[in-house]
């Protein structure tokens, strides 16, 4: 029986807010403490240990201290670079950790004449561990399609930092079909910040989730970090996802219409909640029919929140809109309001280009899918605009 820890997406140094950067590290520290207590055969870190290839010096010092604890416990650590701590130059602080004897970066392959990458494993107690790093903007996917193992072993783990098709579903983003990957017993995945597991015959594909959420939406969705404890025995895989709930997260969504009274409304809603030593996520939504976003006194709101002895406060106003009022339209049927606005615009601004307006409005109404990369969304949008304008390579 082989027992190991699967960590991914620690993103140490990733938060701008000082208290959340601290909580991020404390969550990583808790994961290391629990990992050592489990006495595993080894620990895997599937990319993005750091949020950048060159993390702050204080983060480095504290990370080295945690790795020393692991080394003192005689537990090997195998890792790969992720899309954040990867460097095109090939030099990152992962190398410093490795040279200090704290871990081993298992990326190792040779490229044959036909372009195939032959991956070489690290062998540990009859377990073959292969690794392939992440790249910026999903550039590792095409390389993975050309990759294979250089040898066959009874027990195989493949650690990689990428996106498999199963986890994104119908979202149009770069991903790889899991069945195109070389055959392994356990795929120790990183990159997607969610807890996810699927199985194909006797192979298990697992994302353990980040050791701490890395942005507002992740905090709302996940609340806290996690990692996996994995056992492999007689061709069977058993996983246990360990949660790391260090602080309680409170998500508050408030729909607004009148910005002139919004400050009092928000404070009134917050006052109903016990927030001592908790993280408050405030999301403001709706369409402002009176006033504008600048009329909401966020300083007053933040001062009120601090009085409730909160640990951290984040706000999100990306879904808060202001009603457009440049064109006067009198209409009872709201389903036809866009048509009426367009008609009013065309009457005031005659020109040949107006024939494209309805199709352009439809094209520009395309929304960015959840987890869809900005570059993919932009390409999809531009392709639609090209079709409308009957252009080939102009845009």
Q: State both tokens at 305.
A: 């929140």
The rounded distance, in Å, linking the Cα atoms of 41 and 186 is 15
Phi/psi at 127 (5° precision): -105, 125
**Residue that the structure tokens 């410093």 belong to:** 96
The rounded distance, in Å, linking the Cα atoms of 194 and 206 is 10
Phi/psi at 270 (5° precision): -65, -35
Choose, from 6, 11, 84, 193, the residue flagged as catalytic. 84
**Residue that the structure tokens 């702050």 belong to:** 56
- Tell me whether residue 191 is one of the annotated catalytic residues: no
Taking every pair of Cα atoms in the chain, the longest distance, rounded to a whole number of angstroms, is: 78
Torsion angle of the four alpha carbons 355, 359, 365, 367, in this order, in degrees rounded to the nearest 10: -140
Asked if residues 168 and 141 have their Cβ atoms less than 8 Å apart, the reply is no
Q: Which helix (H) or strand (E) holds 43?
A: strand 42-46
How far, rounded to the nearest angstrom, does the alpha carbon of residue 255 sit from its chain's CA centroid? 26
For residue 176, what is the DSSP state? Answer: B
How far, rounded to the nearest angstrom, does the alpha carbon of residue 261 sit from its chain's CA centroid? 35
Q: State both tokens at 267.
A: 């404070």
Asked if residues 4 and 44 have their Cβ atoms less than 8 Å apart, the reply is yes
Asked if residues 265 and 256 have their Cβ atoms less than 8 Å apart, the reply is yes
Length of the chain: 395
Give the 3-state DSSP-derived string for 73-133, with helices as H, strands as E and coil as C: CCCCEEEECCCCCCCCCCCCHHHHHHHCCCCEECECEEECCCCCEEECCEEECCEEEEEEC
Strand partners, 107: 131
Give the 3-state DSSP-derived string for 258-292, with helices as H, strands as E and coil as C: ECCCHHHHHHHHHCCCCCCCCEEEEEEEEEECECC
Residues catalogued as catalytic: 84
């Amino acid at each position: 029986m082989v027992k190991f820890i699967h960590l991914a997406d620690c993103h140490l140094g990733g938060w701008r807010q000082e208290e959340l950067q601290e909580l991020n590290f404390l969550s990583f520290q808790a994961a290391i403490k629990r990992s050592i207590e489990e006495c595993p055969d080894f620990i895997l870190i599937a990319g993005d240990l750091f949020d950048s290839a060159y993390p702050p010096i204080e983060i480095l010092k504290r990370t080295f201290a945690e790795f020393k604890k692991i080394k003192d416990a005689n537990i090997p650590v195998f890792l790969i670079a992720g899309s954040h701590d990867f460097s095109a130059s090939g030099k990152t602080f992962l190398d410093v950790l490795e040279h200090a004897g704290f871990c081993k970066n298992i990326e190792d392959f040779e490229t044959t004449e036909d372009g195939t990458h032959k991956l070489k494993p690290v062998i540990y107690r009859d377990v073959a561990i292969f690794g392939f790093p992440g790249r910026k903007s999903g550039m590792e996917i095409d390389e993975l399609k050309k990759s294979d193992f250089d040898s066959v072993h009874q027990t195989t783990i493949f650690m990689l930092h990428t996106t498999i098709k199963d986890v994104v579903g119908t979202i149009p983003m770069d991903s790889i079909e899991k069945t195109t990957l070389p055959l392994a017993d356990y795929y120790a995945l990183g990159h997607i910040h969610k807890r996810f597991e699927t199985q194909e015959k006797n192979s298990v594909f697992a994302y353990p989730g980040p050791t701490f959420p890395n942005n507002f939406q992740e905090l709302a969705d996940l609340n806290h970090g996690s990692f996996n404890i994995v056992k492999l025995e007689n061709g069977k895989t058993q996983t246990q996802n360990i949660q790391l709930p260090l602080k309680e997260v409170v998500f508050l969504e408030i729909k607004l219409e009148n910005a002139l009274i919004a400050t009092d409304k928000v404070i009134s809603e917050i006052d109903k909640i016990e927030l001592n030593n908790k993280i408050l996520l405030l999301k403001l939504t709706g369409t402002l029919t009176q006033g504008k976003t600048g009329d909401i006194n966020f300083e007053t709101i933040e001062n009120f929140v601090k009085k409730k002895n909160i640990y951290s406060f984040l706000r999100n106003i990306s879904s808060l809109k202001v009603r457009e009022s440049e064109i006067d339209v009198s209409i009872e049927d709201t389903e036809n309001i866009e048509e009426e606005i367009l008609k009013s615009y065309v009457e005031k601004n005659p020109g040949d280009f107006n024939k494209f307006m309805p199709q352009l409005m439809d094209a520009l109404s395309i929304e960015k899918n959840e987890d869809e990369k900005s570059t993919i969304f932009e390409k999809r949008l531009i392709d639609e605009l090209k079709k409308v304008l009957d252009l080939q390579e102009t845009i």
